[in-house]
Amino acid sequence: MLQEVHVGHKFLADYQSVVVRPLIEEIRELAEGLKGARVLHINATSFGGGVAEILYTLVPLMRDVGLDAEWRIIMAEQEFYEGTKITHNALQGNALGLDDSQKKIYEDNNRMTSESLGKGFDFIVVHDPQPLMLRHYAGDLGAKWIWRCHIDTSTPNEEVAQYLLPYIQLYDTALFTLKDYVFKGLEIPIKVIAPAIDPLSTKNMALSPEDADYVVSQFGVEPDRPLMLQISRFDPWKDPLGVIDAYKIVKKEFASVRLALVGSMATDDPEGWSFFTRTVEHAGDDSDVLILSNLNNVGNLEVNAFQSRADVIIQKSTREGFGLTISEALWKAKPTIGGNVGGIPSQIVDGKSGYLVDSVEQCAERCMWFLDNPKKAKEMGRTGKEHVRANYLTPRLLRDYLKLFTELKAKG
C-alpha cells in the first residue's frame, strides 16, 4: 500500500552560489547532531503538485547532509482519491463534506496502509489529509510524528475539520504554512514553516532568452507577441476561468496578446479532468489561448521556458495554501500578479515585487499596466527575485526541518 519514490542525488554544496554562506554552515552544524537519523516522508502522489516537487529536492538533500531519508506514496483505488479531494476542498471552505461510505473508504485505506509502514524510523512526516490517519492506526512506532498541512485551512468546513481533529491531535507536532491556517482547538505543538522552490531544478535553472524562445516556439508561441501565463493545476480554486476573462479584457487593448494556461494532471486529483474540460470550453475557439498539460509533453523544462518567456505571469487563485508558482515566477525576475489570498501575499510585496488582485477586472488592469510599463515591470521582477532568494529557496526549508528534528530529538 506504500510505494517508495526513487529520487536522484542533490548536493548542498551546489547551492552555495545562490544562498548566503551562513545558511549553509547552519545546515551542516544542525545535521551533525542528526547523522544517520531515519526520516520517512509520506504523501499521496509523486508528481503533479507542489508537495511532490518539494520532496524531489528535500529528500536527496537530507541524504546528502547525513540523514537516512526516504519518500513513500499511498497507493489506493480511485474512490479514495475522490473522497480525499472532497476533504481537501472542504478544508479550504467548501460546504460539501464526506458521507459515511466515503469516511469508511478513507479510514480503511489508512488502516491497510499503516500495516506496511514498518519500524525503525526516527521521524515520520505525513503530508496533507490523504495519509493523516496513519498515526492513529500505526501507533507511534518509536518515531516522532509530524503532520505537514500544505493547504489553506483558515476557514474550513467545520464538520470535516472536527472529524479530522482527533487524528491530528495524536501527532507530536503539526506544521502549517501560515499562522492563520492552524486548526481551532489543536492542542499539540505548532510550527509555521513556508515551503520553498529548488533554484537549481530543471524548472528553475537559468535559461537564455534564445533557449526559452526555442522551446515555446514548439507550441506555436511567437517571440514578438506579448504572452500572459498561468501555471497551475486545473482546479476551480486556481480560477483559470477568471484568468481567461481577464485576458479577454486585455485583448481589447492589446490585440496581439496571447494567453497560455499550463498545468499538470495529478493522480490524486480526479476533479482535474472535468475542470480541464470546463477550461477548454470557457476559452472557446480563440486560437490565441493555449491550454497545455503534461499530456502535451509539457514537463519542467517547458514550464521553465514558458515562465522565462512570459511578459506577465498570473496566479489568480481564490484559495491558495502557498502557491509555489509565485516564487518560481519571481525567481525568474518576472512581473507577477497573484490573488490576494493564502500564502501569495507573503511572496508578493504589493506594488514593489508584483501586484495582488481581488477580481478579474483588477487582474486585467494590472496586466495592462505591466505591458505598458516594461522597464518598471523588470525592476519589480528583480525585487521579487531577491525576496525569494532570502526566504523561499530549498536550503532554508531544509534548515527549518533540521531545526525541528533537533528539537523533537531533544524532547526524547
- The tens place of each residue's pLDDT in the chain, 412 residues long, gives 799 999 999 999 999 999 999 999 999 999 999 999 999 999 999 986 789 999 999 999 999 999 999 999 999 999 999 999 999 999 999 999 999 999 999 999 999 999 999 999 999 999 999 999 999 999 999 999 999 999 999 999 999 999 999 999 999 999 999 999 999 999 999 999 999 999 999 999 999 999 999 999 999 999 999 999 999 989 999 999 999 999 999 999 999 999 999 987 765 566 777 889 999 999 999 999 999 988 888 999 999 999 999 999 999 999 999 999 999 999 999 999 999 999 999 999 999 999 999 999 999 999 999 999 999 999 999 999 999 999 999 999 999 999 999 999 999 8
Give the C-alpha distances (Å, rounded to integers) separating 299 from 161, 179, 241: 35, 33, 23
CA atoms within 13 A on the CB side of 391: 19
Q: How far is CA 142 from the centre of its chain?
A: 30
Q: How far is CA 118 from the centre of its chain?
A: 28
The rounded distance, in Å, linking the Cα atoms of 45 and 128 is 11
The superfamily in CATH containing domain 2-196+393-411 is: Glycogen Phosphorylase B; (3.40.50.2000)
Rounded to two decimals, the pTM is 0.92
Domain map (residue ranges) of the chain? 2-196+393-411, 209-391
Q: The domain at 209-391 falls in which architecture? A: 3-Layer(aba) Sandwich (3.40)
Grid cell in block for residue 257: 496578446
Say if 2-196+393-411 and 209-391 have the same CATH topology: yes
The rounded distance, in Å, linking the Cα atoms of 217 and 356 is 30
Give the C-alpha distances (Å, rounded to integers) separating 298 from 48, 76, 228, 291: 12, 26, 17, 11
